[in-house]
């Protein structure tokens, strides 16, 4: 009986946690970035990476804060992407249509080739 009560409480906690997630999680979409195909820095410090289904995307600037991404975060992302490149691994970039610079785009293919777009999170693609 105690196990049943504990499981019931745990289920309520999980459901409650899911209800508390921000609305942005519902609108987010995840794109695979492949730094082995293309990883570059332009003359303005922009970091360009190949996104599966989209093409080359400028994700941030290492020389100035842009669209909510600090230059420090951008430098860390670039360093991480270099590491993934040496490991022949991909990254997952998270985007939302509402983010500055994303112009309501809601899919990876909608990002467009050779555009400036703003992810809000990056992690290894497992």
* Half-sphere exposure in the Cβ direction for 90 (13 Å, CA): 13
Nearest by Cα to 84 from 119, 50, 43, 114: 50
pLDDT at position 53, please? 95
Residue with tokens 């049943």: 4
What pTM did the predictor assign?
A: 0.78
Nearest by Cα to 74 from 51, 58, 85: 58
Q: Where are the beta strands (DSSP E) in 52-98?
A: 55-61, 91-95
List of domains in the chain: 26-124 (2.40.50)
CB-CB neighbours of 69 under 10 Å: 21
Listed as ranges, residues in the chain with pLDDT below 70 are 1-26
pLDDT at position 27, please? 79
């Amino acid at each position: 009986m105690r196990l049943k009560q504990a499981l019931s409480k745990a289920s309520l906690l999980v459901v409650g946690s899911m209800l508390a997630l921000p609305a942005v999680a519902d609108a987010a979409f995840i794109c695979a970035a492949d730094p082995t195909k293309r990883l570059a820095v332009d003359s303005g410090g922009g970091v360009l990476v190949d996104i599966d289904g989209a093409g080359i995307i400028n994700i941030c600037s290492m020389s100035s804060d842009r669209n909510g991404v600090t230059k420090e975060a951008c430098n860390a992302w670039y360093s991480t992407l270099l590491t993934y490149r040496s490991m022949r691994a991909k990254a997952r970039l998270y985007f939302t249509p509402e983010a500055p610079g994303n112009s309501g785009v809601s899919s990876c293919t909608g990002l467009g080739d050779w555009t400036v777009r703003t992810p809000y999170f990056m992690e290894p693609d497992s």
